[in-house]
Amino acid sequence: MNTRDTIAAISTPPGSGGLGIIRLSGPQAREIAAAILRLHPNHEWIPWRITHAHLLDEDGAPVDEVLVSFFAAPRSYTAEDVVEISCHGSPVILRHCVARALRAGARAAEPGEFTLRAYLNGRIDLPRAEAVRDLIHATTLYQARVAAQQLEGSVSRAVAPVKTALVELISLLEAGIDFAEDDVEVASSAEIDSRLAAVLDGLGRLLASYSWGKYVHEGLTLAIVGRPNAGKSSLFNALLGEDRAIVTDIPGTTRDTVSEAFSLEGVPVRLVDTAGIRESTDLVERLGIERTERAMADADITLVVLDLSQPLEEADRVLLGRTENMGWRVVVGNKCDLPRRLAEPLEEIAVSARTGERIEDLKRLLVARIAPEGIAAPQSGLITSARHEALLREAQEAAQKAREANALGLPHELLLLDCYAALRPLDALTGATTADDILNRIFSTFCIGK
Ligand SMILES: Nc1nc2c(ncn2[C@@H]2O[C@H](COP(=O)(O)OP(=O)(O)OP(=O)(O)O)[C@@H](O)[C@H]2O)c(=O)[nH]1
Ligand SMILES: [Mg+2]
């Protein structure tokens, strides 16, 4: 992909809107804009100023009245010259504007190419580029807050102290090897161990934030299962806060899975109501039950609903048995507003889907399950990306190996290999450490005297 040409694209979503924006980025941005617009005869390209203009068709007739903003390199989104043309939001006008820009010498931008350029031009690092994508796709405000913090560099900031500690250790080991004859003190095994322990501690903390961060990013699926009439659809509605699924006193009301999105403390949740599980000869009901099975297999968390106002039935026992070893099961006793007739104390929480009693407690319990460490503040540099998690884990393994090598008293040359192996994935995460970084540290922290 050429990264020196000028690219153009519609930056607003498809369909009609009040406004639509065309973005041009690259060395010819101004030239191309001038070719397709009628600007004021005395127009000058003054950075960060908005000017009024007309968008013209091929025959030079105006097709829209537009506002044009100019961002001069390197202080723009892409760090190149950027011109944004704010048109009225008709898809016809927007497509026409891009088509004309292409004829005037622009190239159609690939998906994400503006952000790619910002990255290639060194304006943002990789975690920030990824945050742009997450911000655009946020479906809850909490997700947006986390992504906005990442755009500000929260991930790189959180990783930086670990990386610094590692680079310091590497410099120490390198210096010990390179300048051994010059009476530079070689680091003691205890000192190396405590430095590696600090690195591992930092990595462990970052990785722990992923247990919640993963759900912030990907959301989760919560399936409600139980025998007919246990109150699954009622619980579904109570959690959503709206009458979405049909509720009747006829067992077997829900025949198909019904799903709806809601936000659990900012985590996007897909809530799935299912057909009650029982032996059935009815074809439609049997097909519904098959779908319940699939929903259970796909769910991150399964809510098993028991009817507290009825004795336990065979169908309940079967379901409890089948979900017992699923890590993410919550047994909910429903209808706590009625006299209790369920003898066994099987439920983890008793609620009433009808009155809404303890539904908020149930939500809190679910949050506690997915965030055992508590909900992270968006600015804490929480890890939400599987790519980051994999890299941190790789660093952790290598640092662990280094610690073991140190405990065994292996030569520092070998230890260094593990330390570099731990540094590499962190570099891949936030950007490279150069040999200069290490040399500078060696020469700034040691008085070699040469
Ligand atoms: N008293 C009381 N009744 C409830 C409660 N939850 C549900 N019900 C009633 O129980 C009956 C069944 O409720 P549903 O929500 O349709 O049950 P379901 O589990 O979805 O049933 P199927 O779709 O047939 O499998 C309805 O008459 C509800 O009004 C509750 O907490 N208290
Ligand atoms: Mg139902």
Please tell me the pTM assigned to this model. Answer: 0.78
Q: How far is the CA of 231 from the centre of ligand 2 (A)?
A: 7
What are residue 44's phi and psi, to 5 degrees? -125, 145
**Chain Cα centroid distance, residue 367:** 18
Q: How far is the CA of 243 from the centre of ligand 2 (A)?
A: 12
**Chain Cα centroid distance, residue 181:** 50
Q: How far is the CA of 328 from the centre of ligand 2 (A)?
A: 22
248 in ligand 1 pocket by Cβ < 6 Å?
Answer: yes
- pLDDT string in tens for the chain (450-residue length): 677 899 999 999 888 999 999 999 999 999 999 999 999 999 999 999 999 999 999 999 999 999 999 999 999 999 999 999 999 999 999 999 999 999 999 999 988 889 888 988 989 888 888 888 888 889 899 899 999 999 888 998 999 999 999 999 999 998 887 766 665 567 889 999 999 999 999 999 999 889 889 998 889 999 999 999 999 999 999 999 999 999 999 998 998 899 999 999 889 999 999 999 888 778 888 888 888 889 988 899 999 999 999 999 999 998 999 898 877 899 999 999 999 999 999 999 999 999 999 999 999 999 988 887 777 777 777 899 888 999 999 999 999 999 999 999 999 999 999 999 999 999 988 877 666 666 665 555 444 444
Strand ordering across the sheet containing 258-264: 258-264, 267-273, 220-226, 301-307, 329-334, 349-350
Residues 6 or more apart in contact with residue 318 via CB below 8 angstroms: 277
Q: Give, in order, the Cα–Cα distances in Å from 428 to each of 56, 338, 389, 432.
A: 46, 58, 12, 7
Nearest CA to ligand 1 atom 9: 231
Does residue 392 contact residue 155 with C-beta atoms inside 8 Å? no
Q: How far is the CA of 219 from the centre of ligand 1 (A)?
A: 27
Does residue 102 contact residue 28 with C-beta atoms inside 8 Å? no
Out of 225, 234, 250, 337, give the residue to mutate to test ligand 1, the one with the largest number of ligand atoms within 8 Å of its CB: 234
Nearest CA to ligand 1 atom 10: 231
Out of 224, 225, 227, 229, give the residue to mutate to test ligand 1, the one with the largest number of ligand atoms within 8 Å of its CB: 229
Q: How far is the CA of 223 from the centre of ligand 2 (A)?
A: 12
Beta-strand ranges (E) seen in 317-433 are 329-334, 349-350
